[in-house]
Amino acid sequence: MPELPEVETTRRGLLANVQFLKIRAVTCRNRQLRQPISPDFETICQNCKILDIERRSKYLKIILEDKGYILIHLGMSGHLRILPDDTPAAKHDHVDIYLSNKHMIRYTDPRRFGMVNWYDLSEAEHPLLKRLAPEPLSTAFDAHYFHQRCINKTQVIKKIIMNNQVVVGVGNIYAQECLFLSRIHPQRPAGSLTYLECERLVEQIKVVLTKAIQQGGTTLKDFKQVDGKPGYFTQTLFVYGKAGTSCQSCHSELELLKIDNRSTTFCPNCQI
DNA sequence: ATGGTGACCTGACCGC
DNA sequence: TGCGGTCAGGTCACCA
């Protein structure tokens, strides 16, 4: 489900609902996520005030007053909702964070590839955050930087843009969309891209992610915003999940490839 | 250092 | 109806 636009949509929805509220209590029903929830998680969070919610890559940081932050990752299938605090828990509702206003933040994640934990480490100190590349929508991510990172690389370009040590936040859906819109074949060795192609790709990554955020993310299967509304970006997808249909630009048949074991749809005519 | 592979999980869907 | 296979939005530890 969640790529960067979905996570950013979630951040905005949460922030509007929980900023400056106090955490009354926390319930964990299943601690076995991508990494186990630490035994003292509930105790540490109790009575802390939520100051802000930040996003770094696809991680959310719930900033607590004078006391570090809760780090959340949604993995493949996770989502967060704001619900009345007496809402019964279903099978995959692993964590509830009860707030001072009779509501709670509920973390649900069927596949449990996500994580929830508390830290008091700066980004430079945190093992999961310290090696992350620049944000795609920041000025640090530009054509010059990206071209430098591609030079002499034999890896295919799709893998490079999905590598979070090159740029964060580009997952499988948006990688395919960005490559289509930049007219670059997903299997090109990164080192073969010209400066102009790098510039085009960087621009499309920014445009596609910005639009997706504006539309509330992509709705796939069960992605919902924190208020339960769907995202609307599916209406804007050109290639993801459309193998066998015709290219909206040239009407050739879109083809399917496996790259790094992940499905990749592209137009064999437009993308060179 | 860089690159490739398997591992972590559950659920939906398809063909038999 | 049931069973086995395949696939799915992500990331990281481990190996060569």
CB of A31 lies under 7 Å from some atom of strand B: no
Statement: the CB of A32 is under 7 Å from strand B:
yes
- Provide the mean pLDDT of chain A: 93
Of A11, A58, A81, A188, the active-site residue reads: A58
Task: With cut-offs at 50, 70 and 90, classify the pLDDT of residue A70.
Answer: very high
A3 is catalytic: yes
Output the distance from A166 CA to B1 C1' rounded to whole Å. Answer: 14
Which strand C bases fall within 7 angstroms of a protein CB? 7-13
Has residue A7 got a pLDDT over 90? yes
- Mean pLDDT for the stretch of residues A53-79: 95
Beta strands in A101-192 (DSSP E): 103-108, 115-119
Q: Is the pLDDT of residue A78 over 60?
A: yes
A262 is catalytic: yes
Alpha-carbon distance A149 to A155, whole Å?
11
Residue with tokens 């249909």: A245
For nucleotide B10, the protein residue with its alpha carbon nearest to C1' is A111
Q: HSE-up of A33 (CA within 13 Å, CB side)?
A: 28
Q: CA–C1' distance A56–C1 (Å)?
A: 47
- Asked if pLDDT for residue A227 goes beyond 90, the answer is no
Among candidates A56, A45, A58, A60, which has minimal Cα distance to A11?
A60
What distances in angstroms separate CA A19 from CA A10, A134, A271, one per listed residue?
14, 26, 45
CA-to-C1' distance for A182 and B6, Å?
A: 32
Best CA proximity match to A239, nearest among A258, A263, A222, A219? A263
CA of residue A220 to C1' of nucleotide C9, angstroms? 8
pLDDT of the residue at A236? 84
Instruction: Indicate the pLDDT class of residue A144, thresholds 50, 70 and 90.
Output: very high
- Mean local confidence (pLDDT), A156-170: 95
Q: A39 catalytic, yes or no?
A: no
In tens, the pLDDT along A178-213 reads: 999 999 999 999 999 999 999 999 999 999 999 999
pLDDT at A82 over 70: yes
Q: Return positions of chain B under 7 A from a protein CB.
A: 2-5, 8-11
So what's the pLDDT on residue A172? 95
